[in-house]
Amino acid sequence: MSLLPVACLLGPTASGKTAAALAFAARHPVEIVSVDSALVYREMDIGTAKPSAEERAAAPHHLIDIIDPADTYSAAQFRADALRLVDEIVARGKVPLLVGGTMLYYKALTQGLNDLPSADADVRAALDADAERDGWPALHARLAVVDPSTAARLAPNDSQRIQRALEIFMLSGKPMSALLAAPRSQDADTPYRFVPIALEPSDRAVLHGRIEARFDAMLAHGFIDEVRALRARGDLNLSMPSMRCVGYRQAWEYLDGAFAYDEMCDKGVFATRQLCKRQLTWLRAMPERVVVDCCAEDATERAVAAITRTAKV
């Protein structure tokens, strides 16, 4: 039985994914499934560049605003939800289109899941306490002893990933690098062939300029007030995945008085550029991807053409 091709429009932040997806949706009966770990959170609209109400009205969108910022959402949950949604969209006679930049989600969807232990609140609290006392570079050094391979690819202040790698070792007794290298567990075979269409820049400087302009626009539209409202809830903190989203951590620390406004802007833009770099590294490890230059003047039309060929509509 031939597999049904499903187009997956992937790309780094500010590469034009939303514009291309909506341009395709204007011509075909599409339902969009978000592949974005930040868009799942309610009350986080500006800093995540969430599609507007008008954009979401142009085509049904899924996996947006599905959990509270105090909760967590895993790659395993995404895989189960995405497969279920694609089934339902196809059953409705519509065209499923996956769109986003969370490459771990895409990898989980297409390659299955590693047998990694789930998050443990007590272990994370202990690691946070150690980091508060000793600093994240000290925990990075601790990680280098038990999992040198993982430590070598992480910056000494990459708190989220250092914490997760140490948590995995503490819970399993095995380094994360070894577990990631182990064969992946697969659910039952799916009837789909997921095809990555990658929006990538021919000139990284163009994307960097877009990132800076987007961050400025977010600030102009009230991003700091959005973070201020999240802080005022009283049940959120910087150890939570939601508040570790790019931009939110920097704005939170600015409101804490950790640094000045201009420095917050610089840190937010830098963190977004680093995210972009990681996203492109993931993409370029996919030899099967269809590449569209997101810097081209007709990038949207090129992406629409690639989606159309893949989805065979």
3 state DSSP class of 236: coil
3 state DSSP class of 7: strand
- What is the sign, positive or negative, of the torsion defined by CA atoms of 142, 144, 147, 151? positive
End-to-end CA distance of the chain: 20
Cα angle 275, 109, 303 (rounded to 5 degrees) comes to 65
**Which is nearest to 109 in space by CA: 77, 87, 71?**
77
CB 97 within 8 A of CB 28: no
Rg (CA), the chain: 20
User: Which residues sit in the known binding site?
Assistant: 11-18
State the CB neighbour count (10 A cutoff) for residue 300: 19
Q: How many helices (H) and strands (E) does the chain have?
A: 14, 6
CB 47 within 8 A of CB 245: yes
CB 272 within 8 A of CB 215: yes
Q: Give the CB-side neighbour count of residue 51, counting CA atoms within 13 A.
A: 28
Token match 């939601």: residue? 242
User: Which residues sit in the known binding site for substrate?
Assistant: 13-18
User: In the beta sheet, which residues pair with residue 5?
Assistant: 193
- What is the sign, positive or negative, of the torsion defined by CA atoms of 218, 224, 225, 229? positive
